[in-house]
C-alpha cells in the first residue's frame, strides 16, 4: 500500500448513464481505499468550464465522503484521511498541483494507462522540478468495465420503487461482522422487496468459514451476528416475516430451495448471487 494517493473520478451527472457511473465510482472508491494507508485525495475530471453545476458537485461530494467512509470502516475499521476537491476555478488547485504533494505517491484512475500517461507525465515533470519522487500510476480500467453488470437490476434505479418490484420470498446474506451502514442498507433494501405476506431469508456466514478473514479474532460469533441481524430487522420492519440462519457454505438455501423469487446483494457480491442462480 501507498501512504497517500489521488483518485480521479468522473461525476455521475456528467455521464450519459449516471446510475452506471455512480456504481462504477463506488467500486473505484473501494479499490482506492484498499490501496492507500493514510491519505486519499479525490478529484473530479471533465469539469472544466463555467457551465458545471456547483450544486451538483456539492451533492456528489457528500456521496463520495459517505462512500469512502463506509469503505474505510468496513476494510480497516479505522480512520482514513479523505479529501474531496471541488473544481471551483476561483480557488481550487488543479490535479497537477495536488500531484506535486510529497505525501501522495500514486495516481489512480479508471482510464487506460495510455490515456492517463499525459497527465502523469505533466505531474511528474513538476515533481521532478521540486526534487520529489515520481508518482506511480494505478489504472482501474478493467475494474470499471466489470463494476456494472447489465444483467442485474439495481435498486438505486428509481423505477425499482414501483409496487410491482416486490416478491414473496427474498434472500440475502453476508458476514454481518459489524452492523455498519452497508449492512443496514442491504437488509433494508431486501426487506423492502418483500410482499406484505412475504418472507425474507438472511444467511449469516458460519464461524468456520471466517477463519482466514482479516481480523477474524475480532469478529463476533455466528449466533451474535445472527441476533444482530434479527434485532435490526425487527426494529425497522416489525411485522415482516424473517428467517435468519447460519450457513456453512457460500450459497445457502436459495441454491437448492425452489421457492425464492429474488436475491438482493451488494455490488461486490454479484458473482456469488450468479453462482447461486447457476446452481438453481
Helix axes 222-236, 181-192, angle to 10 degrees: 60
> How confident is residue 95, by pLDDT bands cut at 50, 70 and 90?
confident
Q: For residues 18 and 50, what is the distance between their CA atoms, to the nearest angstrom?
A: 21
Instruction: Say what the pLDDT of residue 92 is.
Output: 65
Q: Stretch 105-119: mean pLDDT, rounded?
A: 94
> Does 9 have pLDDT greater than 80?
yes
The predicted pLDDT at position 79 comes to 80
Among the listed residues 120, 186, 166, 148, the one whose alpha carbon sits nearest the alpha carbon of residue 19 = 148
In sequence order, the 6+-apart residues with CB closer than 8 A to the CB of 21 are 10, 11, 12, 14, 15
Indicate the pLDDT class of residue 180, thresholds 50, 70 and 90: confident
Range 213-223 average pLDDT: 76
Query: Is residue 150 pLDDT above 90, yes or no?
Result: no
Q: How far is CA 201 from the centre of its chain?
A: 23
Residue scoring higher pLDDT (260 or 144): 260
Q: What is the pLDDT of residue 162?
A: 59
pLDDT in tens, 22-53: 999 999 999 999 999 999 999 998 776 556 77
pLDDT at 178 > cutoff 60: yes
Instruction: Give yes or no for residue 235 having a pLDDT over 90.
Output: yes
pLDDT > 70: percent of the chain: 91
Amino acid at each position: 500500500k501507498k501512504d497517500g494517493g489521488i483518485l480521479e473520478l468522473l461525476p455521475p451527472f456528467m455521464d450519459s448513464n449516471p446510475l452506471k457511473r455512480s456504481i462504477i465510482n463506488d467500486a473505484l472508491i473501494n479499490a482506492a481505499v484498499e490501496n492507500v494507508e493514510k491519505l486519499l485525495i479525490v478529484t473530479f475530471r471533465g469539469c472544466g468550464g463555467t457551465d458545471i453545476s456547483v450544486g451538483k458537485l456539492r451533492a456528489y461530494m457528500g456521496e463520495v465522503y459517505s462512500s469512502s467512509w463506509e469503505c474505510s470502516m468496513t476494510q480497516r475499521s479505522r480512520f482514513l484521511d479523505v479529501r474531496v476537491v471541488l473544481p471551483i476555478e476561483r480557488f481550487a488547485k488543479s490535479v497537477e498541483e495536488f500531484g506535486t504533494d510529497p505525501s501522495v505517491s500514486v495516481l489512480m484512475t479508471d482510464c487506460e494507462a495510455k490515456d492517463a500517461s499525459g497527465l502523469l507525465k505533466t505531474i511528474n515533470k513538476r515533481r521532478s522540478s521540486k526534487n520529489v519522487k515520481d508518482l506511480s500510476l494505478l489504472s482501474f480500467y478493467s475494474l470499471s468495465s466489470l463494476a456494472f453488470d447489465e444483467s442485474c437490476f439495481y435498486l438505486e434505479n428509481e423505477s425499482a420503487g414501483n409496487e410491482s418490484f416486490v416478491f414473496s420470498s427474498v434472500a440475502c446474506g453476508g458476514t454481518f461482522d459489524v452492523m455498519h451502514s452497508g449492512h443496514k442498507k442491504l437488509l433494508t433494501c431486501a426487506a423492502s422487496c418483500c410482499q406484505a405476506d412475504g418472507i425474507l431469508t438472511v444467511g449469516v456466514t458460519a464461524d468456520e468459514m471466517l477463519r482466514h478473514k482479516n481480523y477474524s479474532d475480532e469478529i463476533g460469533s455466528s449466533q451474535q451476528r445472527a441476533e444482530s441481524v434479527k434485532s435490526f430487522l425487527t426494529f425497522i420492519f416489525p411485522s415482516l416475516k424473517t428467517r435468519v440462519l447460519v450457513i456453512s457454505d457460500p450459497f445457502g438455501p436459495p441454491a437448492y430451495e425452489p421457492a425464492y423469487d429474488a436475491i438482493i446483494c451488494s455490488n461486490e457480491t454479484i458473482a456469488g448471487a450468479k453462482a447461486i442462480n447457476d446452481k438453481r
